[in-house]
A and B are shown apart, each in its own frame.
Chain A
Amino acid sequence: MCLGVPGQVMEIRQVDGLSMATVDFGGTRRDVCLAYVPEAKVGDFVVVHVGFAISIVSEAEARETRELLEEIASFPEA
């Protein structure tokens, strides 16, 4: 319950009036409710918390963060 975990939306369907998705977490798949991210598409990565997607991971922001990490990794060690 403590974490938001990123997973990839594999398929989307309507169940009892709610938008539900099968989300892949590095091999494990779970049903996730997309009600709070209605713009999420198949292929998007979403942050999932207690069975609900609470945000969509922006590829652009993730790329910026990755580049920042690579820059940090190149700092000289003390």
Chain B
Amino acid sequence: MKFVDEYRQAAPVHALLAEIRRTVKRPWVLMEICGGQTHAILRYGLDQLLPPEIELVHGPGCPVCVTPLEQVDKALAIAALPGVTFTSYGDMLRVPGSGRDLFSVRAAGGDVRVVYSPLDAIHLAQANPDRQIVFFAIGFETTAPANAMSVLQAERLELTNFSLLVSHVRVPPAIHAILGAPGNRVEGFLAAGHVCAVMGYHEYPPIAERYHVPVVVTGFEPVDLLRGVLATVRQLEAGRETR
């Protein structure tokens, strides 16, 4: 796949690892924000390939993991209502609420459907005028434009059987909460490229200045992540004397 395969090549991965090993002089704790980054790190064993001085702490950037319990419980209650078709991104189906999860609501006869895009939920509403289609609108900044478009589209199509259960969060407040917490050990962040495709970078320089932490935006392939680690440790190694 173009624009993907070249970021998975072994040669640049090993060259970046070598350069990171040469650069690191003392231990550093880095956090990657996004679940997609964590997945790539673990899948390619990057945490094991990096020198032991670098500790990767996995961040709260998975909306599935940080969706509040009460929102999941609301989802379960709504999904169990007769006449409701409850639609959700697939990852949410296994997230437990206080008692069970959406998968078990489906097993008990609830109409729970996985959608890839919020527009799929709109299509369901168009095709099933006798049912109330509810979409579980979760996510960080990246899904917000897509979730919002379903609202605009429902209005444009004059749908009366489409609604959303919303549970949206943003990355910068999460970073502030982590860095401001007593006992915080995180010294650098790998921020998520797709969040920045939506939001730009403007929220990160104030964070970097206030807490004196580098924030490096990366993609999701091994070369992207290692290039991000290298940029982060270069800043940390260069900045340590001036702290």
Check if A49 is an interface residue, CB within 8 A of chain B. Answer: yes
For B126, the closest partner residue in chain A by CB is: A16
Chain B positions 115 through 159: 1 when the CB is less than 8 Å from some CB of chain A, otherwise 0: 011111000000000000000000100110110010001001100
Check if B16 is an interface residue, CB within 8 A of chain A. Answer: yes
The B-contacting residues of A in range 34-74, CB under 8 angstroms, are 35-36, 45, 47, 49-52, 54-55, 57, 62, 66, 69-70, 72-74
**Residues of chain A within 8 A of B219, CB atoms compared:** 4
Give the distance to chain B from A34, nearest Cβ to Cβ, in Å: 11
Q: Are A77 and B18 in contact (CB under 8 A)?
A: yes
Given A1-B91, A2-B35, A66–B6 Cβ distance below 8 Å? yes
Q: Which of B7-15, B74-82, B95-103, B164-172 is near enough to bind chain A?
A: B7-15
Given A25-B1, A33-B119, A78-B22, A54–B142 Cβ distance below 8 Å? yes
Q: Chain B at the A interface: mostly helix, strand, loop or mixed? A: helix
Contact-size category for B: 35 or more
Give the distance to chain B from A65, nearest Cβ to Cβ, in Å: 9
Q: Are A54 and B197 in contact (CB under 8 A)?
A: yes
Give the distance to chain B from A20, nearest Cβ to Cβ, in Å: 9
Check if B2 is an interface residue, CB within 8 A of chain A. Answer: yes
Check if B223 is an interface residue, CB within 8 A of chain A. Answer: yes
Partner of B153, one of A1, A4, A16, A73: A16
Given A2-B36, A50-B89, A74–B15 Cβ distance below 8 Å? yes
Q: Could you list some 6 contacts between A and B, CB below 8 A? A: A49-B146, A50-B116, A54-B142, A73-B11, A76-B18, A78-B22
